[in-house]
């Protein structure tokens, strides 16, 4: 699989990704997309024309029913390779960029979250308590080091945030208690608080925590129709803080959002403010109208 893209492009692609300050995950995503394109046409990725890319994107959209986000990633990989690796000047309008739909994330109650956490093993409970209790992404939680836990000020240092940004977030008493139990039981020796089983210098695989969370949630709530993932815990962190009266600016800082617009999505999920509102029709005496 993926034999049609020459190996030398991998090195050139990684060099350009590094120069632009993009993450290693972006490199992997772009490389995977480029290899799939080359594999589909059975030719060198450098020889794929705009017209061929149009037909490929149309197939992804119409036949394979790929999401707008997937189409845009594929488009971005092709543009980045041609412009930055091959040095070609492509028109930004040659391939259409698809408008993203942003459905509201599903939210679950605090009681359900605590119930699922209690059902997990000690290691996964410690990791996921940071995802919910501090609003961390799973990648951020797995990047935490022992010295990042500040029990004096009850905060956690997020050193490997999205876009290589660093920040502080709050630390819950629940998380601190579980983390102390975890540390006493496992005594991690490497740089990371949650290392891989056979390599102390590498952080744990996120898929293990994802599978554990999904397994326990499905077992406890087999009739659940919502799409619940580990990232749901981060959404719940923000929404539950908003429900408790914390302002959006503070939540933005804790989540590490670059723009307040990203944080404003949680105003659509909170229920407390809606329950306190009175319709202008009722204020105008609409409740006294005859039936």
How many angstroms separate the Cα of 269 from the Cα of each of 76, 125, 132, 137? 31, 25, 16, 19
Choose the catalytic residue: 35, 124, 234, 240: 234
What is the DSSP-derived secondary structure letter of residue 264?
G
Is 227 one of the annotated active-site residues of the chain? no
Is 272 one of the annotated active-site residues of the chain? no
Q: Is 268 helix (H, G, I), strand (E, B) or coil?
A: helix
Is 98 one of the annotated active-site residues of the chain? no
Is 180 one of the annotated active-site residues of the chain? no
Choose the catalytic residue: 124, 137, 203, 240: 137
Q: Is 218 helix (H, G, I), strand (E, B) or coil?
A: helix
Choose the catalytic residue: 36, 203, 240, 257: 257
Choose the catalytic residue: 231, 258, 272, 273: 231
Choose the catalytic residue: 66, 162, 196, 214: 162
Angstrom distance (rounded) from CA 215 to CA 264:
31
Angstrom distance (rounded) from CA 130 to CA 125:
9
Is 283 one of the annotated active-site residues of the chain? no
Q: Which residues of 100-116 are buried (b: 16+ CB within 10 A; e: fewer)?
A: eeeeebebbeeeebeeb
CB proximity list for 114: less than 8 A, separation 6 or greater = none
Is 145 one of the annotated active-site residues of the chain? no
Residue carrying the six token digits 């060099």: 15
CB atoms within 10 A of CB 275: 7
Yes or no: say if 160 and 23 are a contact pair by the CB < 8 Å rule: no
Known catalytic residues are 137, 162, 231, 234, 257, 266
């Amino acid at each position: 699989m993926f034999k049609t893209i020459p190996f030398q492009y991998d090195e050139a692609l990684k060099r350009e990704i590094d120069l632009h300050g993009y993450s290693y995950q972006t490199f992997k995503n772009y490389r995977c997309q480029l290899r799939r394109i080359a594999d589909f046409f059975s030719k060198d990725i450098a020889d794929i024309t705009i017209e061929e890319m149009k037909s490929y994107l149309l197939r992804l959209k119409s036949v394979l029913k790929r999401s707008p986000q997937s189409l845009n990633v594929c488009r971005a990989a092709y543009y980045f390779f041609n412009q930055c690796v091959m040095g070609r000047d492509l028109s930004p309008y040659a391939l259409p960029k698809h408008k993203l739909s942003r459905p509201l994330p599903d939210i679950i109650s605090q009681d359900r979250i605590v119930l699922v956490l209690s059902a997990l093993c000690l290691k996964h409970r410690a990791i996921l308590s940071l995802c919910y209790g501090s609003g961390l992404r799973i990648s951020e939680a797995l990047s935490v080091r022992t010295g990042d836990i500040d029990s004096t000020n009850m905060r956690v240092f997020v050193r490997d945030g999205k876009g290589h940004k660093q920040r502080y977030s709050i630390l819950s008493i629940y998380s601190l208690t579980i983390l102390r139990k975890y540390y006493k039981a496992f005594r991690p020796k490497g740089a990371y608080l949650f290392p891989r089983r056979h390599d102390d210098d590498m952080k744990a695989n996120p898929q293990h925590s994802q599978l554990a969370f999904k397994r326990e949630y499905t077992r406890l709530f087999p009739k659940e129709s919502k799409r619940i993932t580990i990232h749901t815990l981060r959404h719940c962190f923000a929404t539950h803080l908003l429900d408790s009266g914390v302002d959006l600016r503070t939540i933005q800082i804790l989540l590490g959002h670059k723009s307040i617009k990203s944080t404003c999505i949680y105003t659509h999920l909170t229920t407390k403010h809606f329950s306190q509102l009175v319709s202008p029709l009722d204020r105008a005496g609409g409740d006294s109208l005859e039936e």
